[in-house]
Amino acid sequence: MTVPTYDQFIEPILRFLAAHPDGARARDVHDAAADALQLSETDRAERLPSGMQAVYKNRSGWAHDRLKRAGLSECPRRGYWRITTKGIEFAQANSAPLSATSIEDLADSYRHIRLRPEVDSEEGSSNNTPEQSLLEPSSREVSVSPDERLELALNEIEESVATELLESIADSSPQFFEILVLDLLHSMGYGTSRDALKRVGGSGDSGIDGIISLDRLGLEKVYIQAKRWQNSVGRPEIQGFYGALAGQRATKGVFITTSMYTKQAVEFADSVERIVLVDGVQLAKYMIEYGIGVSHRAIKVPKLDSDYFED
């Protein structure tokens, strides 16, 4: 048999996670879904055209992506999947097997929902809450051109990779995150060389995790604060960073977090005009754009060369 399409992996993954409410390693879920679908060793050995991944694992991953976007599952840490309370309720309310309509709904209705931290108040925490993406409703229609479908597919892949990036950062150490931030800023063009970006985080760092010298003599500097947080960053943290900048007589500061900022934090940063805020969503976008923690593969898209056929 051939490896089923990714939508056929949705129910086996849902049922397995429902039977293991404390969560399971992603690779164990891949194999459980393959077992449920009775995939042979030959099926499991089939690779994507790029050769980078087994087809069944790729499709299993996209099936879980749909469950996450529907709010039925989550990734509490990298490589570990867990059903949500909503997912348990859904599984209990929908006995096996799911109807074709239910599977189609899970596979298609949530594909343009992305996970993004949401902040409700100054003391609120960031949650993995489904949020509508910026795609216009008209672009979700089936009757779009191949070029438009390609763009939609690339956007979908980028959103999925962005989520994986933030999950990977959450599993890393604070020290690694500080180095990652400096690597990213250097790739974005800051500093005359990588050596011009120094990590100074640690005890007694006075709220400064990194320093970038913008010129060779170090006369102009940018100070960095990097917070690998789950909870939202509030006004007190930004005020503390502002105070640290004042202590250094600095005029430029960048505060980067893996979560979100409260409204009050953003308003304060805007009022002092010397601090730039980067949240988790923007951080992931920058990492994808500048190739930090991700790799890119070229896709050849043919287009007629009309000049070749001119007399």
Beta strands in the chain (DSSP E): 24-25, 73-77, 80-83, 113-118, 127-132, 197-199, 210-213, 221-227, 253-257, 275-278
Kindly tell me if the per-residue pLDDT of 183 is higher than 50.
Answer: yes
Residues present in the chain in total:
311
Mention every residue, 6+ apart, whose C-beta is less than 8 A from residue 56: 3, 9, 30, 33, 34, 39, 43, 44, 46
Average pLDDT, the chain: 83
* Amino acid symbol at 145: S
Distance between CA atoms of residues 146 and 141, nearest Å: 12
3-class secondary structure, 305: coil
3-class secondary structure, 41: helix
Kindly tell me if the per-residue pLDDT of 293 is higher than 50.
Answer: yes
Domains of the chain: 1-111 (1.10.10), 112-311 (3.40.1350.10)
Residue 3 and residue 39 in contact, taking contact as beta carbons nearer than 8 Å: yes
Q: Which residue has 């859904």 as its token pair?
A: 90
pTM value surpassing 0.75: no
Residues 65-109: tens digit of each pLDDT:
899 989 999 988 878 999 999 999 999 999 889 999 999 999 888
Kindly tell me if the per-residue pLDDT of 162 is higher than 50.
Answer: yes
Kindly tell me if the per-residue pLDDT of 272 is higher than 50.
Answer: yes
* Amino acid symbol at 275: I
Closest CA to 207 of 227, 180, 229, 232: 227
Lowest mean pLDDT among 130-134, 155-159, 187-191: 130-134
